[in-house]
Structure 1
């Protein structure tokens, strides 16, 4: 597998296969939303679009970065989301980096959204897909966020060498600027457990696949049977 690691601004052409990585916290939060029962996640272009979608679909739940705001039901925190019942609901998500990265590659033939909590499932799906070239979109810090790059590199290695150990990659993420900012309360809309939850390897037995459904980019979980059979939940 030929892996490329690019920031959002470096995407000059639409890749065939894209893995969009946002560890802290968009795609850790998305995985938790599915674990809490969400049917699908609509990735919004802007806060205004998220609110407009919510207005048209009052039963949908809207989620954003930062502090709570009128019209939004939740914030982008796995620690705060893990106790929310989302059974059968649609979530509209707008974040600073993760959703932007996914929308930037929406024309790709396969778009996966990833973080450490779905790393093995993502790698397994890439192995199943037998992709020749994969573009990993490192969404944070203009492509320099070490927690995202570490996760991207781990998934890439794991896709071709299933025995790859995660320890060094998780350590890099734990020592990243994003982890420090979350731990120190620099960012808003944070739970004290957020960093630990973002570093929980293979918490969920599904990958997350984003596809265009009409005019909307929609994220859905795709269970990976071998992981489900092993009970990796």
Structure 2
């Protein structure tokens, strides 16, 4: 498998196999939502679209990044997610990095969304798919986010060797600009940020499922899949 690491493409593209990485915090939140029983996650291109989808579907929840926004149920904090009952629910998610990256490569034959908590299962899904090439989309900081690149490189390494040690990759993420910004947000008392968010984003291989996105009913929809069936 030949990996390629890139930022979010400026125009929609369709690589054969794509892994979109957002560690802090979109796809950590998504993974935790599935771990807590959410049925599916619908990606929205704008906040207005997200709120419109929520309004049309009673019982759906809406998540966004940044400070809390009226009408949204969560500001993308994995820790604060623990106070929500998401069992059996559909979540609409809109973020400036993770969901934007997924929508930019929405027509890939196989589209996986990843963070450290599902890295091992994502690598297993790629191993079973056996693609010649994989495009890793590093979504943060214009494709330069160290935490996302570290996670992408860890997944790529795990495809070749299941025994790859996550520690060096987690250390890079721990000292990333994104981790520093979240810590500063805690210090400044930003709403929607929790002091334990970074730690929850740095739990490698916590869950046994990958997350695959595909078009359904006119939207890009993310679902958890066992690695054996992700391909």
- Normalised to the residue count of structure 2, the TM-score between the two structures is 0.94
Aligned to 1:57: 57
Residue correspondence of structure 1 range 87-126 to structure 2 within 5 A: 87-126=87-126
Answer whether contact 2:174 2:202 (CA < 8 A) is retained. yes
Question: Is 2:217 the partner of 1:218?
Answer: no
Aligned to 1:86: 86
- Normalised to the residue count of structure 1, the TM-score between the two structures is 0.93
Aligned to 1:228: none
RMSD: 1.4
Kindly tell me: are residues 136 and 35 of structure 1, through their superposed partners in 2, closer, same or farther at Cα, counting changes over 3 Å? same
2: distance between equivalents of 1:130 and 1:81? 34
| Structure 1 position 224, deviation (Å) | 3.5
Structure 1 outlier segments of 4+, above 6 Å: none
Runs of 5+ consecutive residues of structure 2 not aligned to the other structure: none
Answer whether contact 2:79 2:200 (CA < 8 A) is retained. yes
Aligned to 1:194: 197
2: distance between equivalents of 1:8 and 1:189? 25
Aligned to 2:208: 205
| Structure 1 position 162, deviation (Å) | 1.4
Q: Which shows bigger deviation, 140-149 or 69-78?
A: 69-78
Runs of 5+ consecutive residues of structure 1 not aligned to the other structure: 226-233
Q: Which shows bigger deviation, 18-27 or 74-83?
A: 74-83
Question: Is 2:24 the partner of 1:24?
Answer: yes
Answer whether contact 2:19 2:113 (CA < 8 A) is retained. yes
Q: Matched residue pairs, number?
A: 225
| Structure 1 position 58, deviation (Å) | 1.9
Deviations along 1:35-89, whole A, 9 cap, x unmatched? 1110000010100100110110021000111222221111100010023211100
Residue aligned with 1:75, SS = coil
Residue correspondence of structure 1 range 127-206 to structure 2 within 5 A: 127-185=127-185, 188-206=191-209
